[in-house]
Amino acid sequence: MTKLRSHLRSLLPRAPGAAAQPLLVREYEELARARLPQDVRDFIRGGSGTESTLTANRAALDRIRLRPRVLTDVSNCDLRTTLLGSDVSLPLGIAPMAYHRLAHPEGEVATARAAGQAGVPLVVSIFASRTFEDIAEAATGPLWLQLYWLRRKDLLTRLVSRAQDAGFRALVLTVDAPRVGRRLRDVRGGFTLPEHVRAVNVDPSIMAASHRGAPGVSAIERHSREQFDPSATWADVARLRELSPLPLVLKGILTPQDARLAVDVGADAVIVSNHGGRQLDGAVASVDALPGIAAVVAGRCQVLVDGGITHGTDVLKVLALGADAALIGRPVLWALAHAGARGVADVLGLIGGELEEAMALCGRPLISDIDQSLADIPGGSAR
């Protein structure tokens, strides 16, 4: 794993005269600025309301300190683990994000190529801008399909069937979005999907509102109010559980009560998530919600977390607080915009290298060595 970064870079050709390699994941956002129009940058970057939850995700991670142990043999750190039955190279995955072609012409195909080379799962959005089949052909790592609970249940059934046939290995139901939250950057800019970027796996008639622009209106928000089913309950999750033999993941869990219900309904994993600060403004930061959820789940299903992850030490922190893996989102799109598949590979390599270094410096050579005694949470006591 110490050679992960250099290995990933070697897999994809670099253009002659390419700029110096970024040393931090957060540097990719600035590099992407020149390649993306303002409305697309705002769509990717923005959160809902005052963006207080967007800010809280990062601040909560920064508050956590690490308590390293010393004089431990760390000559061979091993980042490998298992997620939903698949062996992965490190406890990391790519969170579901729609319309990767907003960032790069190859879209999700480029992202899948890089994820597979890094040996991490890619969660493909129901609103992917490349077909499931094209993404699967490019992938060499696990693919999971993310779903919203649409009014059209026949469409959901067909999408699940297509994903199974294409070799996807899990279903991820987003449960925190009965509608899309009000994202003021999109409202001010009247964000509308351009004609060349489409949710190609979904019937065009269902997606029409996403392409109808109007001043002071987010087409994405309007589309969600038309097509998302706000009446969904735990009974609907149980029906989805019966629809497919694939492992089922519920994304958007922020309370121990809902985590317990997720286990009871047969979820194979939960993703502790506030949707990257894009749904309820004022929601608890994901990492703050994590310990209570991990305690309630108590190993009965796997626990993943997203929200503000930009460094290998962030991954180490969430593992110490009870997560089995972390998911990253926006940095992938910034890197995709900057350098396509190579950019995504570099981001995954950076985080993997940082995680390996942090594990060595903390005296935790194996994923199984990481426990709550490593994390110092403000207001809490040392464990």
Q: Which pLDDT value is given to residue 20?
A: 74
Residues above pLDDT 70, as percent of the chain:
94
Measured between alpha carbons, how far is 230 from 217 in angstroms, rounded to an integer? Answer: 20
Q: Cα–Cα distance between 176 and 275 in angstroms, integer? A: 8
The continuous run of DSSP H or E covering 289 comes out as helix 286-297
pLDDT score recorded for residue 379: 66
Catalytic residue among 104, 275, 311, 338: 275
CA 248 vs. chain centroid, Å, equals 16
Residue 67 is encoded by which pair of tokens? 């308590």
What pLDDT does residue 21 have? 85
Collapsing DSSP to helix, strand or coil, 256 comes out as helix
Q: Which phi and psi angles does 370 have, rounded to 5°?
A: -85, 120
Which pLDDT band holds residue 371 (cuts at 50, 70, 90)?
A: very high
Residue type at 3 in one-letter notation: K
pLDDT score for 344: 98
At 186, the amino acid letter reads D
The position carrying tokens 């502790």 is 272
DSSP 316-357: HHHHHTT-SEEEE-HHHHHHHHHHHHHHHHHHHHHHHHHHHH
Handedness of CA 44, 48, 51, 53 (dihedral sign): negative
Q: In whole angstroms, what is the distance from residue 45 CA to residue 298 CA? A: 34
Mean pLDDT for 52-71 is 97
**pLDDT number for residue 10:** 46
* Per-residue pLDDT band at 380 (split at 50, 70, 90): low
| Alpha-carbon torsion (261, 262, 268, 270), positive or negative | negative
pLDDT at residue 255 above 70? yes
Is 275 a residue of the active site?
A: yes
Pick from 176, 170, 163, 327: which is nearest to 251 by CA? 176
- Judge whether residue 170 has pLDDT over 70: yes
Arithmetic mean of pLDDT, 351-374: 98
- Whether residue 203 is predicted with pLDDT greater than 70 in this model: the reply is yes
- Hey, what amino acid is at 68? P
In the predicted structure, residue 383 carries a pLDDT above the cut 90: no
The fraction of the chain above a pLDDT of 90, given in percent, is 91
Alpha carbon 365 to chain centroid, angstroms = 25
Work out the average pLDDT over 198-221.
93
Q: What are the beta bridge partners of residue 83?
A: 86
What are the distances in angstroms from CA 304 to CA 48, 83, 270, 272? 22, 9, 6, 6
Q: What single letter denotes the amino acid at residue 360? A: A
Give the span between the Cα atoms of 79 and 317, in whole angstroms: 14
Give the CA distances from residue 65 to residues 162, 175, 313, 337, in Å, rounded to whole numbers and listed in that order.
Answer: 44, 31, 10, 32
pLDDT digits (tens, 9 = 90+) for 315-326: 999 999 999 999
User: pLDDT (tens digit, 9 = 90+) per residue, 96-138?
Assistant: 999 999 999 999 999 999 999 999 999 999 999 999 999 999 9
Q: Which two tokens stand for residue 12?
A: 């994809």
- pLDDT at site 2: 45
- DSSP track, 113-141: HHHHHHT--EEE-TT-SS-HHHHHHH--S
Could you tell me which of 356, 369, 348, 340 has the C-alpha nearest to residue 32?
340
> In 193-315, which ranges are E strands?
248-253, 269-272, 302-306
The 10s digit of each residue's pLDDT in 178-196 is 999 999 999 999 999 999 9
Q: What is the pLDDT of residues 290-347, one digit of tens each?
A: 999 999 999 999 999 999 999 999 999 999 999 999 999 999 999 999 999 999 999 9
